Structure 1
Amino acid sequence: MPVDPPPARGYIRSRGMRVPRAVGITTGRIRAALRAETFERKECEAVLRVVNEGDRVLELGGGIGYVSTLMAVARKVTQLVTYEANPALIPHIRRMHEANGAEHIDLRNALLTPLPSDPVPFYVRRNILSSSLDGSVNPDGVLQTVDVDCHAVEAVLEEVKPDVLICDIEGGEADLLPAADWSCLRVAVIELHPQWIGQPGVQAVFDAMQRAGLTYFPRASEGKVVTFRKPW
């Protein structure tokens, strides 16, 4: 069995990928999860089960670039459009893509919205991963406020024509997913946030996927990460 090379200086090795170390991003808890390969485990296992080489993928919520890199490297998707609202994470995502030779990725610092919208304020905090659209949370920790572009979801779907949706948008799924026609999809992997969207929001997501012709796929679902796929 081949032995993995030692991790490059300044990187953490996880699932065969190199994750750049970054202050405020790869904190102690995240470093431990990366090394144990438990970081985003449920989403990663779902992606590895259902994403195929050659797929066109729309990812909503790029995070630190971990899942998009995994799809580009392990599944060699043809096209991957990644949306991430937090401008402070964009440089790290780019570094991770570059460190792993991840190609065919269109990284966009923007939000998808049900309808066309003017840019919205985004609050960047000292703890980068706690930055959000909500300025009322920990206002003393806000370092700066930046305007983030909004892209209408239907226009993006017409442009990208994705086969696969990966969605982790911290509760935004309950408003965004029911607002669009997702029938272009073969499969969707969605992290639900019932603590924020409640039962009505969860039901709205399931209903949106059913209207798109996708059914719940338990073999690639676990806990709050739910997968839907076309039955043929």
Structure 2
Amino acid sequence: MRTAFVDHSDRFPGSGDPDKRARLAEAGRPSHVTSYGVTFPTDLPPLLPRMRGALVNNDYEARETKAALRVVQRGDRVVELGAGMGYMSSIVSVNCAPSEVHAFEANPAMIPCIRRVHSENDITNVTLHHALLGETAGEAQFYVREKFVASSMLPDPAEDVIDVVTVPVRPARETIAAINPDVLICDIEGAELQVLPLLDLSRLRAAIVELHPQYIGLKGVQTIFDAMNKAGLVYNPKRSNAKVVTFSRVD
């Protein structure tokens, strides 16, 4: 059992909160928590107490995690849209032995956090891309919210926005085609409606998508299903749970 943890916060400015670290130490809280064999520093700015507890109990992003652990196979090339704090890319890398993972994240505040998590876990097969995907190359506004998982390209609800940043946009179809992934994992807070129909999904073996009907509506959900079905991917009920849906290619 691992009893000592490395601390790479100094390598990635912005990935640690010294005041938070001091408070946690004073309260007797651990410097790191572990989930599915991956350690996460508890002084990460976005890591809230309930999230720490969920990580310890293997309950964080539970539906998406269970799907990914069952779908991703050894040697796969994986694309993750919406990397967050580096959770899913790390879990997949450590547990599924993919050949490579390409993680896309728009929120600049998350980039050092992701890099630190990867570094402290000796993860070397993940390529991190600070970018959005769109129809053409350019720039777009990204709305950062206090609850980082709710940050998105959508301006509403406006009262939760704490910052608006300009993020580079890469052409979606060409960018993903160049990676040629076997599996796509997507959790991008409603932007799935704009991004997924732009992609050539026909080469995927599987796609795991967290739907956000509160933003895209049932018509948007139908659009996602239609895009997947057109590419030969069908809804897989055994690998789906509520809003986290898995699409698999029929052999």
Which residue pairs with 2:105 in the alignment? Answer: 84
Aligned length: 227
- Shift of the alpha carbon at 1:99? 1.4
CA contact (8 A) 2:152 2:191 kept: no
| Structure 1: segments with no counterpart, 5+ residues | none
1:11-46 Cα distance to aligned partner (Å, 9 max, x none): 111122101223531111111111111001111100
Q: Deviations over 1:118-153 (max 9, x none)?
A: 2112344555455443456456863x5432000111
Q: Of 130, 137, 140, which aligns to 1:120?
A: 140
SS of 2:241's equivalent?
coil
- Give the distance between the partners of 1:26 and 1:103, measured in 2 at CA: 23
Hey, what's the Cα distance between the residues in 1 that align with 2:226 and 2:87?
29
CA distance in 1, matches of 2:55, 2:215: 26
Q: CA deviation at 1:157?
A: 2.2
- In structure 2, stretches of 5+ residues that fail to align are 6-29
Q: Which of 174, 182, 185 matches 1:155?
A: 174
Q: Percent identity?
A: 41
C-alpha contact (below 8 Å) 2:193/2:220 kept by paired residues: yes
Q: Would the aligned equivalents of 1:177 and 1:205 in 2 still touch at CA under 8 Å?
A: yes
From 65, 74, 86, the counterpart of 1:53: 74
Report SS of the residue matched to 1:226.
strand
RMSD: 1.9
Name segments (4+ residues, structure 1) moved above 6 Å.
Answer: none
- Matching of residue 32 in structure 1 with residue 29 in structure 2: no
2:240 aligns with one of 221, 226, 232: 221
Per the normalisation by structure 1, the TM-score is 0.90
**How far has the Cα of 1:7 moved from its partner?**
6.3
Report the counterpart of residue 15 of structure 1 in structure 2: 36
Asked if the contact 2:138/2:170 (under 8 Å) is kept, the reply is no
> Secondary structure of the residue that 2:175 maps to in structure 1?
helix
Which one of the candidate residues 184, 188, 191 is aligned to 1:165? 184
